[in-house]
Structure formats: structure tokens, C-alpha cells
Copies of this chain bind each other. A is one copy, B any other.
Amino acid sequence: MRAPFHEPGGNAFLGSVNQHRTVSTGVNKIRITGNRESAPDNAVEMPLRVRYAETDQMGIVHHANYLVWFEASRSEYCRVHGINYRQMEKDGMMLPLAEAHCQYVSPAFYEDEVIIKTWVISLKRSILRIGYEAWRGTDLLARGETVQVLVNTVTRRPMRFPAEIEEKFMRMQAPE
């Protein structure tokens, strides 16, 4: 069982809200299962230091920056696994986002040392699904998920992942 999360000052913040795992609305239905597991052991970890520019007047990291952090950690995942995304773009492939989701558990503050954990959830044909967690020490700050589609740069249509790249994304452990 995971202990409740606290911000540095000791107050639970959004923890109680995030127990509402299943939500249903008339317009946009998003259901997130309650038995969400944490990052697997082979997740790639990327450390970062919170920049002043990433805060907002609430005194916490602005929520949009988590998507930027997830993206940076995705790049780190690629580097660790020998995937050269810069070269992929030169080779006429792009990985735009089709979907992004982030659940904010506890706020991050200026100068915090944050670890982003990143792992591949699935890769099917042209669709890559990646999971993320942001941690400050033993505090979970956020969980996220993105869906990306491999697209041919010229036609802008989805294309299958080349086998070699797919294999690297799906490798359970980073090569030594």
C-alpha cells in the first residue's frame, strides 16, 4: 500500500481527490482504473531540477510543464535504448501526440529535484503508448500517459514502426 502523499510543508494536497478513480460524465468520459500499478523496475529515470520559469503565481509548477518533462524523459528513454529520434525525423518519420493524460498528485516547487520514470506500455503497428511518473524523493507528484502515432513526414499519414525501432522500444532492459 502506498502512503498518502505530502508536499514539503506536510499538507496532503490533492491526494484525497485522486481517489476518485472512475469518472463518468455526459460529455467526455475518462475512466482510470483504481488498481493502477506503479512504474516497472525497468523504467528509465531522468532527473531534472525545477526551473523558476516553470512555476506560476500559485507558487507551484504550472501543470503544462509536466507534458514537457514527460517528453524530455521520453527522449532519454530513446537515448538509453539506442533509438535516435533526431535521425528518425531526418528519415521522414514523426511521432506527434494523439493523446496525453496527466494526473496531478502533489505539487512540485521551484528547485525541487524531480525524477521522471518512463516506460513503454505498448506499441502496436503505428501507435506507441508510454507511461510516466514524476517523483520527488518518495513523493509521487504526477502520473501520465501519452499516445503517439508514427507518421510519415511527407504524407502525414500513420505508418507502421520499422521492426528495428519497434524492437528497441519493446526491449525490456536497456542494452549495456
Contact = CB atoms under 8 A, between A and B. Distances in A.
Given A49-B72, A51-B75, A53-B68, A102 B103 contact: no
A89 B129 CA distance: 33
Contacts of A86: 109-111
A32 interface: yes
A25 interface: yes
Copies of the chain in the assembly: 4
A51 B75 CA distance: 8
23 contacts: A7-B156, A13-B151, A14-B151, A17-B98, A18-B99, A25-B129, A25-B145, A26-B121, A28-B131, A28-B145, A30-B99, A49-B72, A49-B76, A51-B68, A51-B71, A52-B72, A53-B72, A56-B57, A57-B58, A75-B111, A96-B104, A99-B103, A99-B104
Given A18-B98, A58-B96, A63-B97, 5 more contacts: A13-B157, A16-B157, A25-B121, A30-B30, A53-B67
